[in-house]
Amino acid sequence: MKTIGHFIGGQHVTGPGLRHAAVYNPSTGSASAQLDMADRRFVDEAIAKAAKAQQAWGSASHAHRVAVMYKFRELLIANTDALAEIIGQENGKTIQDAKGELARALEAVEFATNAPAMSKGEFSRNVGGGIDVYSMRVPLGVVACIAPFNFPVMVPLMMSTMAMAVGNAVILKPSEKVPSAALALGDLWKQAGLPDGIWNVVNGDKEVVDALLEHPDIAAVCFVGSTSVGEYIYHKGTAHNKRVGAYTGGKNHMIVMPDADLEAAASGFVTAGYGSASQRCMALSVLVAVGDETAERLKTLLKPLIQALKVGPYNDSQADFGAVISAQSKAAIENAIAAGVQDGAQLVVDGRQAPCAGDAAGFYVGASLLDHVRPDMPFYQEEVFGPARALMRVNSLDEALQLTNSHQYGNGAVIYTRSGASANRFVSEVDAGGIGVNVPVPVPVGYHNFGGLRRSRFGEAHLFGPDALRFYTKLKTVSQRWPEQASATPTSLAFPGNE
């Protein structure tokens, strides 16, 4: 069985070799490789190499750095098929879905080419006494990115591309479940002309995370993943005087008004709710029907759409979605369904025994829908990271907004309606970072800020968009005067003015 290592200083390297973890193919349920787990000493060595390389990269011209971004974009497009295959083998998502992920990853790269224009400072001439004042944005140094399993390419590039475009070096710790895509990206960055040591991949677990959080040369940390881990990273990282942006769980609500196009709403809910086996932080989790009649009509529309969804291997062109990431995840999803039914929810579609075209040992879970879910049920309160969705009933938009805003998570929220008044009220009052109006997945394009609210985000940064540049740079403000000739100035201890 092959061993997967790391990418440090522009080279594929092996680590200490003291600990290993199995990497699985979710479509077959079998181990495909063993992953070398780094220790603190190895992390320290990687950071030292990154810090040394960053000195020259941070001083490089904007033109040079942007040229690398453009070249990498070309290589990303040219290697779409190969990267989609890697994603499918280790994540389980279908090839078609993996290519969709790569298309969105391109947005992050394309947006990073705007770094020169976005990093321009301000200038004021002769604010007083012949003094000019100007500001400039400069890189932080070495930053860490801790990525999840569900988007092995898109999220790492959303985290890191702007960071490198403005002159930082990156230490990426991918999920130990999907390590290979990050290593493949390292080869593409090298081909694009990125200097050795600017993109580094260190594989491992909590030992690596703690080493990054505690190291004095890591200036900022970006994390995407579970809420419990994100909260831990935020508090520990900030305690070590680092900037931290942690993007965590979601329980995204779709409110459907009685006047909505119900067929469009049902189709949108299935698409946004079950794509990628629902392993998306922006997946629709809860359909909130306003009125029992609306709920019954939606249930009638949803049931055949959900039952028609096909589950299969990542390379099955007929599959709508693939396996979930692990046997533990499969068990957790099925247990959540059973608990929801035990608590009184009505099982409209049971995906636990859904037919599957893949290996029987694969980590497959079909699409499920539970009706009459109540706010007091754990099935509603907790994020179910798999294809089990909830249908809830309320009597008014007031109740729907109260329900949505009372949840601990605020990643995204959606309304389907034909009423401009209802939509405007929803946009104004709903407490979510991504908002959709007749749009099922409210993830903006790469040049708009993206990040959740409440316990879906820790820190004030955004994962991508203009805030990413601000997160990965520090601001310097310079006051300067160049007198024509030296002149005697009387000494004064009064606070200086600008007359």
Q: What is the pLDDT of residues 399-437, one digit of tens each?
A: 999 999 999 998 899 999 999 999 999 999 999 988 999
User: What does each C-alpha distance from 332 to 322, 324, 326, 382, 479 come to in angstroms?
Assistant: 17, 11, 10, 12, 59
> Residue 443 carries which DSSP code?
P
Q: What pTM does this model have? A: 0.93
Give the count of beta carbons closer than 10 Å to the beta carbon of residue 216.
9
Give the integer Cα–Cα distance in Å for 31 and 383. 27
DSSP states of 50-100 as a string? Answer: HHHHHHHHHHS-HHHHHHHHHHHHHHHHHTHHHHHHHHHHHH---HHHHHH
Q: Is the pLDDT of residue 65 over 90?
A: yes
Q: How confident is the model at residue 499 (pLDDT cuts 50, 70, 90)?
A: low
**Residues of the chain above pLDDT 90, percent:** 86
pLDDT band (50, 70, 90) for residue 486: low
Check whether 343 has a pLDDT greater than 70. yes
Residue 145 a catalytic site member: no
Region 56-76: mean pLDDT is 97
The residue from 145, 222, 281, 356 that is catalytic is 281
User: What does the pLDDT look like over 104-136, one tens digit per residue?
Assistant: 999 999 999 999 999 999 999 999 988 999 999
* Residue 498 pLDDT: 64
pLDDT score at 18: 86
CB distance 433 to 410 below 8 Å: yes
For 293-325, write each residue's pLDDT tens digit: 999 999 999 999 999 999 999 999 999 999 999
Query: Are the C-beta atoms of residues 84 and 184 closer than 8 Å to each other?
Result: no
**pLDDT, average across residues 9-15:** 94
CA dist 483 → 268, 384, 496 (Å): 66, 66, 17
Question: Region 170-196: what's the mean pLDDT?
Answer: 98
pLDDT score recorded for residue 489: 66
- Angle (nearest 5°) at CA 392 between 386 and 396: 140
Query: What are the residue boundaries of the structural domains of the chain, listed by start?
Result: 2-248+456-478, 252-437
Give the per-residue pLDDT at 345.
98
Q: What is the pLDDT of residue 262?
A: 97
Res 79: pLDDT: 98
Categorize the per-residue pLDDT at 449 as very low, low, confident or very high, splitting at 50, 70 and 90.
confident
CA 334 and chain centroid, separation:
25
Which residues are 475's β-sheet partners?
137
Is residue 220 within 8 Å of residue 471, measured between CB atoms?
A: yes
CB 196 within 8 A of CB 169: no
Is 120 exposed, middle or buried, given 0-12, 13-18 or 19+ CB atoms closer than 10 A? exposed
Rounded CA-CA distance 144/160 in Å is 9
- Is 252-437 in the same CATH topology as 2-248+456-478? no
Q: What is the mean pLDDT of the chain?
A: 94
* Predicted pLDDT of residue 436: 93
pLDDT band at 91 (very low <50, low <70, confident <90, very high): very high
> 2-248+456-478 sits in which CATH class?
alpha beta
Residue 138's H or E segment, with its range, is strand 131-139
What is the third-level CATH fold of 252-437?
Answer: Aldehyde Dehydrogenase; Chain A, domain 2 (3.40.309)
Euclidean distance between CA atoms 336 and 326, whole angstroms:
15
